[in-house]
A = this chain, B = another copy of it.
Amino acid sequence: MSVIYERVALIGLGLIASSMFWAMKRAGVAGEVTGYARSAETRRTAREIGLCDRVCESAREACEGADLVVLCVPVGVMGAVTAEIAPVLKPGATLSDVGSVKRAVIEAVSPHVPDGVHFIPTHPLAGTEQSGPTSGFAELFDNRWTIILPREDEDEAATRRLETFWQALGALTERMDADHHDLVLAVTSHTPHLIAYTMVGVADDLSRVTDSEVIKYSAAGFRDFTRIAASDPTMWRDVFLSNKDATLEILGRFTEELFALQRAIRKGDGDHLHAYFTRTRAIRRGIIEAGQDTDAPDFGRAPKGKRA
């Protein structure tokens, strides 16, 4: 594959940025990749493991001369980081981000974007429970969706270039507007995460059941909740604060349904429960058919090697 962006800057060096770096190297689509992280410890680790061609001591330094700048920081600080780097963004460059919420990021970032710079938000729907600079791997985006959210009047060539870039990293791409994105993600990601966090917290709190019992007997269903409830706390705090309306809407629907099932249990209405449980199987089949999961027996998943 040929180079798509001669100079790429990654601001923030966690799971997504480090995976992007290894995926760029695998695909050969970037010339020099610079990186910056606020923590000196993270920058040191990045240098040790060869993450980025050049790790810089400031965000501005990393962004100077970049053709593509990708903000990989928590949603809550996207605006401040953009204000800091804006003076060095070069005309014609593309500024992007990988935040899990889009309306709030667009509102925070847009006012700081210089004329002549293309701000094109994205959201790669991929992740693991790991975080930090050592957690990335080249295959993270393979066969996963990256949503591209060009704003109105965005330059089509710049958008296409970014799409091609993400496809080169292994991703499938789809365009969407920010409000719809935030609603879809509230359903498929944000509310499930909040619920998982809640359930794990309840288990941890219940004094009549010890943590060691919860841990030993987790294979009966609970385990899958703990996986998603182990994600980065700062990232998730910012997600809920910045996608408040959609999350609260879906939570409202969720509790309404939950109360209906709770009442069916209390009343002994087996038909209601059976019908509900039968209906939800169809969605699962769809996910397997779409290649977004396997139906292999799940023992605790088999390790899969990192290539990097």
Using CB atoms and an 8 Å cutoff, list the residues of chain A in contact with chain B. 76, 100, 125-130, 137, 139-140, 142, 144-145, 147, 174, 180, 183-185, 187-206, 208-209, 211-231, 233-234, 236-238, 240-241, 244, 247-248, 250-251, 253-255, 257-258, 261-262, 265-266, 268, 270, 273-274, 276-287, 290-304, 306
Contacts and interface: CB of A to CB of B under 8 A. Distances in A.
Given A187-B206, A224-B225, A241-B273, 14 more contacts: A129-B284, A130-B295, A183-B208, A183-B209, A188-B222, A200-B280, A212-B286, A226-B280, A226-B284, A227-B284, A227-B293, A234-B274, A244-B266, A247-B265
Contacts of A227: 224, 284, 293, 298
Given A216-B145, A233-B281, A284-B230, A262 B251 contact: yes
A239 to B, nearest CB: 9
A139 B298 CA distance: 11
The 5 closest A-B pairs by CB, nearest first: A189-B220, A233-B277, A230-B284, A301-B301, A296-B303
Contacts of A187: 202-203, 206, 209, 214, 222
Contacts of A126: 219-220
A206 B125 CA distance: 20
Nearest to A15: B297
21 contacts: A76-B270, A139-B299, A144-B219, A147-B217, A184-B213, A187-B206, A188-B221, A189-B222, A191-B199, A197-B280, A202-B253, A203-B283, A206-B253, A218-B287, A219-B292, A219-B293, A224-B225, A229-B280, A229-B283, A229-B284, A296-B301
Given A187-B203, A283-B226, A297-B304, A195 B195 contact: yes
A100 to B, nearest CB: 8
B254 A198 contact: yes
Contact of A277 (B142, B189, B237): B237
A240 B276 CA distance: 13
Contacts of A139: 297, 299
Nearest to A251: B262
Contact of A220 (B188, B241, B284): B188
A127 B188 contact: no
A141 to B, nearest CB: 10
A293 B240 contact: no
A302 B297 contact: no
Contacts of A228: 221, 224
A302 to B, nearest CB: 5
B201 A280 contact: yes
A209 B291 CA distance: 20
A44 B147 CA distance: 48
A184 B265 contact: no
Contacts of A265: 194, 240-241, 244, 247-248
